Amino acid sequence: MSIWSAPTVTTPVVATVDLPGSKSITNRAFILAALADGPSTVRGALRSRDTNLMLNGLSALGIGVRVDTADETTITVDPRPVRAADVYCGLAGTVMRFLPPVAAFADGVVGFDGDEQARTRPLATILDALRGLGVEVSGDSLPFTVTGRGSARGGEVTVDASASSQFVSGLLLSAARFDDGVTVRHVGPPVPSTPHIDMTLDMLGTAGVVVDRPESDVWRVAPGPIGAVDWEIEPDLSNAAAFLAAGAVTRGAITVPRWPATTTQPGAQIVDILSEMGCTVERADGALTVTGPDKLTGLAIDLRDIGELTPTVAALCALADGESVLSGIAHLRGHETDRLAALSTEINRLGGDCTETADGLRITPTRMHGAVWESYADHRMATAGALIGLAVQGVTVDDIETTAKTLPDFPGMWQNMIGHV
């Protein structure tokens, strides 16, 4: 880990930022490709810690993985019988929640472990669901084991997915391969980040898997094949958020090429948030440009469906003109870190005024000063610190390397963006 001095600018940042592929789409594509009825090619895949952990896990399970020597973002996945293995999850929620259902089809014991911090992340929901589907599971959190017998019964399970939509997505991605299919019924407080479930459903449809919705919070998948697909991965719009926000806080203009006209990525909603805060948004020639206003305005917003944007939005609000209230994000207390406590602590450490509420944050802009911004091994906390550092001199970010979880070279990309000033 290292202390990184966040660069500060006094003139508008104007730049074009070309972003790598979406982590959420990449890792879903890898799972579907591993379970498909033939080889699939994934093009434009994100290569980051989280996606490499997914590839390593699939390879350990016996799935064929071939990386194009001329382009590491082009990967061919060849389905093969799942074998006993040890899978290291790091701190990747998609790995620890999407791969256990795949391990149900193994011939033998699959052990899962991860970073020390990952051992506190909630996993009992999906592990109990697997037990209900006839799978032998030992443990309720990392480390745990799944004992496969080559196939699994399936059936109907009731889950409380109020802590993470990944519990639903993880079950649905593998559901068609269970002998009886899988029906998932959510009972409990609302599921957060439901656009990520929509993304899963859309990708399942592309692979020829039909998901019935007989009623709200119920998803039913019949047994059947998962089709091989050549996947084209969109740019990661959640990673785009911090860069677009850089234009917003410096009265600059940031352009992101290849912005999809339609998408299931929740991160796309950063555009609406920036517009509400006073930014100008333009689309032309397949690119999106955000231009910052003279002053950002505060806002009151429910972020339940787009919780991953919270660190970026909180940083924007700390630099805005007027109070902001962020709600619907109590579930962020169970993310890479307790993001609500972390954001409140770090904004206040810099002289800001951020208070935790029952389900969010209340932020009142004040004059801030430099200090160490702790990242808590959380990639989005680190990028939020970098964003505030653009406007507040003397901010240093601890463990900037954690951004490699979803973005291979964030410091280099950030500096290149600022180099246009």
Q: Biggest alpha carbon distance in the chain?
A: 62
Say if residue 24 carries a ligand binding annotation: yes
Say if residue 166 carries a ligand binding annotation: yes
What distance lies between CA 88 and its chain's CA centroid?
18
Say if residue 308 carries a ligand binding annotation: yes
Answer yes or no: are the C-beta atoms of 14 and 370 closer than 8 Å.
no
Answer yes or no: are the C-beta atoms of 123 and 140 closer than 8 Å.
yes
Classify 397 as helix, strand or coil: strand
Going through 79-154 in order, the beta strands assigned E by DSSP cover 83-88, 107-113, 136-138, 144-149
Say if residue 121 carries a ligand binding annotation: yes
Distance (Å, whole) CA 266 – CA 319:
23
Say if residue 380 carries a ligand binding annotation: yes
In angstroms, the Cα distances linking 149 to 31, 104, 172, 198 are: 19, 7, 20, 31
Say if residue 23 carries a ligand binding annotation: yes
Residues listed for the chain: 421
Say if residue 119 carries a ligand binding annotation: no
Q: Give yes or no: 116 in active site.
A: no
Given 116, 234, 308, 346, which residue is catalytic?
308
> What is the four-CA torsion angle of 414, 333, 135, 59, rounded to 10 degrees?
10
Token pair in block for residue 22: 């979406």
Answer yes or no: are the C-beta atoms of 300 and 369 closer than 8 Å.
no
Answer yes or no: are the C-beta atoms of 90 and 124 closer than 8 Å.
no
Tell me which residue of 368, 358, 355, 278 sits closest to 323, measured CA to CA: 355
Distance (Å, whole) CA 81 – CA 107:
8
Say if residue 335 carries a ligand binding annotation: yes
Say if residue 156 carries a ligand binding annotation: no
Backbone angles phi, psi at 26, to 5 degrees: -60, -50
DSSP 8-state class, residue 191: P
What distance lies between CA 148 and its chain's CA centroid?
28
Answer yes or no: are the C-beta atoms of 215 and 244 closer than 8 Å.
no
Tell me which residue of 42, 41, 75, 78 sits closest to 61, measured CA to CA: 78
Say if residue 295 carries a ligand binding annotation: no
Say if residue 196 carries a ligand binding annotation: no
Catalytic positions, please?
308
Known binding positions for phosphoenolpyruvate: 23, 93, 121, 166, 339, 380, 405
Known binding positions for 3-phosphoshikimate: 23-24, 28, 164-166, 193, 308, 335
Known binding positions: 23-24, 28, 93, 121, 164-166, 193, 308, 335, 339, 380, 405
